[in-house]
Amino acid sequence: MARIDIERRESVAILRFDNPPKGYMNGEMVGQLEAAVDALLADAAVRVLVFTGALEGVFIEHYDVSELLALSNRMRAKGATFSADRPVPESPFHRTLAKLEAAPKPTIAAINGTAMGGGFEFCMACDLRLAQRGPFHLGQPEINIGILAGAGGTQRLARLVGPARALELSLMGRTVSPDEAAALGMVHAAVDAPVLDHAMAMAARLAQQPPRAVAYIKHLVRSALDTPLADGLARERTLFMDLAVSDDGNRLMGEFVAGTRTIRD
């Protein structure tokens, strides 16, 4: 039975994908995931969300293809056709990825194994990605079964590695190792096992940062590519001043000036 296991360590929530034996994402797990994300984003005590796999060597293998085939059969039986001028509505999975990107709280994918298809699409929606070294496969191989990455894989991958590399990977259906993923910029780093320890060290640091500053920085960076530069700069300087007069900003700058705090990490 598929489930999302949730563990709390102080202000960090760890969510584990648990769907033996293959570690597929499916509709049941997506429903649980959306509910868990909604609850944790609304919980002021939670400052950072960390996602990882519960199975050895698997983050999310990929979305359950049997569910996609069943959907295909239902649509074909109805004679359904699709066109770019009639966009398909978002599914719960699409909604959840969008919520993670827009959330004021940082998210980390602690990729403890293979993450292909919908599994890697989930990783790309997280703010930070750490991949554990091992004989694991990361990427978007959907073309090998006649489809494409339908939950952001073409769009987010192109933003991470550039259109040329995204085309090569997606058209060839080529997956990569954790080290190659790090070299390409698909993940922030490839790390030795256990990846969760590295992710938790990062989460602990993020949880100590001023939450309003975290939310503002995430919003500005996430929207930068879709915002005209002049508009982005105007928004940035406005949020800069809002932080400057905030309690945290005033206090922490005062500690720096008094010599009791450093600006370096």
Phi, psi of 88 (to 5 degrees): -75, 135
CB 131 within 8 A of CB 138: yes
Is 121 marked active-site?
A: yes
CB 157 within 8 A of CB 151: no
Alpha-helical (H) ranges within 103-152 are 118-125
Which of 61, 142, 168, 236 is the catalytic position? Answer: 142
Helices 211-223 and 229-244: crossing angle in degrees, nearest 10, is 180
CB 206 within 8 A of CB 48: yes
Interacting residues of 165 by C-beta distance below 8 A, sequence separation 6+: 184
Which of 28, 61, 67, 121 is the catalytic position? Answer: 121
Three-state DSSP state, 126 = coil
> Please, how many CA atoms are within 13 Å of residue 110, restricted to the half-sphere of its CB?
26
Q: Which helix (H) or strand (E) holds 157?
A: helix 153-161
Nearest-angstrom CA–CA distance, 33 and 194: 23
Percentages (nearest 5) of helix, strand, coil residues in the chain: 50, 20, 30
Nearest-angstrom CA–CA distance, 69 and 75: 10
Q: Provide the β-strand partners of residue 55.
A: 58
The catalytic site residues sit at: 121, 142
